[in-house]
Amino acid sequence: MKVKEIVQKFEAFAPKRIAEPNDPIGLQLGDLEQEVKKMMVTLDVRPDVVKEAIENQVDFIFAHHPAMFVPVKQFDLSVPQNKMYAELIKHNITVYAAHTNLDNANGGMNDWLAQALGLANVSPLLPTRAEKWYKLAVFVPTENSESLRQALAEAGAGQLGEYKSCSYTLSGTGRFMPTEAADPYIGKAAKLAEVAEDKIEVVFPASKKAQVLTAMRAVHPYEEIAYDLYQVEDLGEKTGMGRVGELTTAMTVEKYAKFCKEVLSLQGLRLVARDKQKMVEKVAVLGGSGAKFYPYALRQGADVYVTGDVSYHTAHDMYESGMAVIDPGHHFEAICKPHLKELFTKWNGENNWEIKVLSSKLNTDPFDFI
């Protein structure tokens, strides 16, 4: 197994395109060609985590938080972070990070949090985005129609949900007159030609545009191919940050805060609430640092918003809004570790990877409650 094969499988689940702008996701350090016998999932890549990986002879670290938010300008090994990078290189450990693409992915971080917090009827908190899709309409001689349809399907066109090789064909007559400089597949120079042609229509996501057009050109017999390519709406998978859902059983703000503390295995958390006895029915959650998005929770009618890193002045604004806020700290995203291990273990079995998947046992939360 190589790192790139594991990454390709993961990026089909949480593509890079759904990450937030300027998020330094992907390969952090190492080589995608690195062979993997043992991988470890973690929330953070910290010196103690790297030591743990070395002791366990790990080849590949898969992290939620990028190890390199800030570029290294001077590789001064007296700096602990730089020393950590040196240890990774020395022990041939490749590091990859999936941050906001994992947050936004359907079935990813924020769905794991919503599940743990007891939410049902869940939907994205922030406005959704969908991948751009195209429709290709290409004209081809009827005798070449089947080979072109097959080539387009093999390139990834025409897949709608669980249906593959979807296309539409309309038969008609094509007309054209080659010039003296042309090298026509059918017809003669300066004479109008009429050809039995099929119009083939297929749809595909923008990520497959280059390979679909390459496949079309590779098998199409014409010197000049007549085709239309245009964008279509409402076909791409919709993804969005955060989640909002309903509790199956309503409870007070105070009781729900204690519930969150228990299910997230926290030493403590911070609560912002005008009325701790207010009943909670609708909850919004956004993993990591989501305080600035609290207006979205208000607009969606949430009684409580669960997110980390709430600042003092923002907490004042939240308090005055009347919506309760539970701040479990940024580290509550550590819930990703068992889920990532389960995900990679499942793929390991399905794809015969024959690798061992570990989960970091370290608590990388820098804060203590005393």
Annotated binding site for a divalent metal cation: 64-65, 103, 330, 333
Q: What are the φ and ψ backbone dihedral angles of 272, each rounded to 5 degrees? A: -115, 115
DSSP-derived secondary structure letter, 292: G
Dihedral sign (CA 141, 144, 145, 148)? negative
Q: Which of 347, 339, 358 is nearest to 1 (CA)?
A: 347
Distance in angstroms between the alpha carbons of the first and the last residue of the chain: 45
Q: Which amino acid is at 139?
A: F
- Continuous segment of H or E residues that includes residue 315: helix 312-321
Answer for the pair 232, 133: CB distance below 8 angstroms, yes or no: yes
Strand order in the sheet with 324-327: 119-124, 243-252, 279-289, 304-308, 324-327, 270-272
What is the Cα–Cα distance from 29 to 81, expressed in whole angstroms? 13
DSSP 193-261: EEEEEEEEEEEEEGGGHHHHHHHHHHH---SS--EEEEEESS-SPEE-SSEEEEEEEEEEHHHHHHHHH
DSSP 105-139: STTSHHHHHHHHTTEEEEEESSPPEE--EEEEEEE
What is the Cα–Cα distance from 242 to 128, expressed in whole angstroms? 10
- 77: tokens are 């090994």
- Nearest-10 crossing angle of helices 47-55, 80-90: 20
Binding residues: 64-65, 103, 330, 333
DSSP-derived secondary structure letter, 163: B
What is the Cα–Cα distance from 196 to 245, expressed in whole angstroms? 56
What is the Cα–Cα distance from 226 to 221, expressed in whole angstroms? 11
